[in-house]
Amino acid sequence: MTALVDRVRSRLAEAGGEPTAAAVAAAIRAEAGGVVSDLDTLAALRTLRQEFVGVGPLDGLLRDPRTTDVLVSGGAVWVDRGTGLERSPITFPDEAAVRRLAQRLALAAGRRLDDASPCVDGWLPDAGVRLHAVLAPVAADGTCLSLRVLRPAAHDLGSLASLGTFDATGEALLRSVVAARLAMLVSGGTGSGKTTILAALLAAADPAERLVTVEDAEELRPRHPHVVRLVARPANIEGAGGVALRDLVRQALRMRPDRLVVGEVRGAEVCELLAALNTGHDGGAGTVHANSAAEVPARIEALAALGGMSPPTAHSQLGAAVQVVLHMSRRDGRRVLDGVGVLDRRDGLVALSPAWTRAAGWGEGRARLGALLAERGTVPPW
């Protein structure tokens, strides 16, 4: 069967045109010498359909509403359905099959993936999937394919509380932070739920507010009536046409935002975000990768250095721009709010004081957070 499929694939490539079901069936019978059962024809049709349509053998996994990530490496397929990665029974026959799928998906995303450009990051709008692929031999054990399923925001703060992301106290605290228009950063590791909770927080904002989001990949889709979404664009293979996240932050400032949101702060754009939050744009937000909430100041310092900002300046800007840090983590496969902290300036540097943590409850930063809420006319939820 594998040899037959290979011959049919070559015949269709030589013929060109649209690989319709009739054309594929005719090619199968021609390559089989006219002697092939209906079952073999259907099996070959099914295999070739996976070659030409959608995400091939991964389609069933991506259609599962629980799926958040599908990963392919060394021909093996792994899936995360919200409780951590698990091995899927789906396999690829060989490295060439994975490579063909990766290249076809890259083409669908308008990107190039070959030996001259072996890595790609793209967006598949029809499937609602973010694509990342690395070809062998750069990927030493075979082509790696990473698919992140990006679905419209399905949770608000209430539903996240019912799922155990935080308790009633945490929900009340988050609603107070949003109502007081405190600037916040959501920290955590990959897949910890940073984007999910940020979308829920934005959905809780006043419907009369105008939210302008800036992202490297289109992930944030808050259920809010007035959202303007800007998405960065990488340069093409000639190095032209790129639109950097840093440039989009500057453009967003001219769009009369009530809240400026950067989906993920990962580079020099942090300088523009901090500057914006220091010029009257209350209630801004962003996400950042960090191992803990306490490490956020150091992380921002490192990112600001990419934009030419000195450490003292970065700490000064951060201390004036951001009031609250929310840290997300994964516990027993569940995404949970691990803690809420407030940023304070100490001896010229910014440090975090825990206001509430899942492990210990209220902390030393509670009084400072209460004062920040009271200054904005919001009654603390305790």
Q: Is 160 exposed, middle or buried (0-12, 13-18, 19+ CB in 10 A)?
A: buried
* In a shared domain, residues 186 and 293: yes
Range of the domain at 278: 157-376
Rounded mean pLDDT, 338-358: 92
Q: Give the Cβ contact number of residue 49 at 10 Å.
A: 15
Rounded mean pLDDT, 183-189: 95
Q: Residues near 347 by Cβ (< 8 Å), separated by ≥ 6?
A: none
* In a shared domain, residues 201 and 315: yes
Q: Would you say residue 56 lies in a domain?
A: no
* In a shared domain, residues 41 and 71: no
- Number of domains observed in the structure of the chain: 3
For the whole model, what pTM was predicted?
A: 0.78
Picking from 9-18, 239-248, 304-313, 356-365, which range would have the lowest pLDDT averaged per residue? Answer: 9-18
The average confidence (pLDDT) of the chain is: 86
* In a shared domain, residues 191 and 311: yes
* In a shared domain, residues 46 and 102: no
* In a shared domain, residues 130 and 245: no
Residue 219 to residues 43, 189, 262, 288, Cα–Cα distance (Å): 37, 16, 11, 14
Higher pLDDT, 297 or 346: 297
Task: For 15-69, write each residue's pLDDT tens digit.
Answer: 665 556 566 666 666 666 555 566 665 565 565 555 555 688 898 898 898 898 9
Q: Give the Cβ contact number of residue 148 at 10 Å.
A: 21
pLDDT at residue number 240: 80
Task: For 193-204, write each residue's pLDDT tens digit.
Answer: 899 999 999 999
* In a shared domain, residues 139 and 201: no
Rounded mean pLDDT, 326-333: 88
Integer Cα distance of 350 and 318 in angstroms:
7
Task: Report the CATH number that the domain containing residue 261 is assigned in CATH.
Answer: 3.40.50.300
* In a shared domain, residues 82 and 40: no
pLDDT at residue number 225: 94
Question: Are the beta carbons of 223 and 272 closer than 8 angstroms?
Answer: no
Asked whether residue 72 carries a pLDDT value surpassing 90, the answer given is yes
Query: pLDDT band at residue 153, thresholds of 50, 70 and 90?
Result: low
Integer Cα distance of 156 and 70 in angstroms:
25
* In a shared domain, residues 106 and 172: no
* In a shared domain, residues 140 and 163: no
Query: pLDDT band at residue 14, thresholds of 50, 70 and 90?
Result: low
Identity of the residue numbered 59: D
* In a shared domain, residues 42 and 99: no
Buried-state track 277-297, b at ≥16 Cβ within 10 A, e below 16: bbeebebbbbbbbbebbbbbb
* In a shared domain, residues 69 and 204: no
* DSSP class of 121: E
Picking from 84-93, 177-186, 239-248, 288-297, which range would have the lowest pLDDT averaged per residue? Answer: 239-248
The dihedrals phi and psi of 274, each to the nearest 5 degrees, come to -65, -40
Rounded mean pLDDT, 145-155: 80
Q: Would you say residue 382 lies in a domain?
A: no
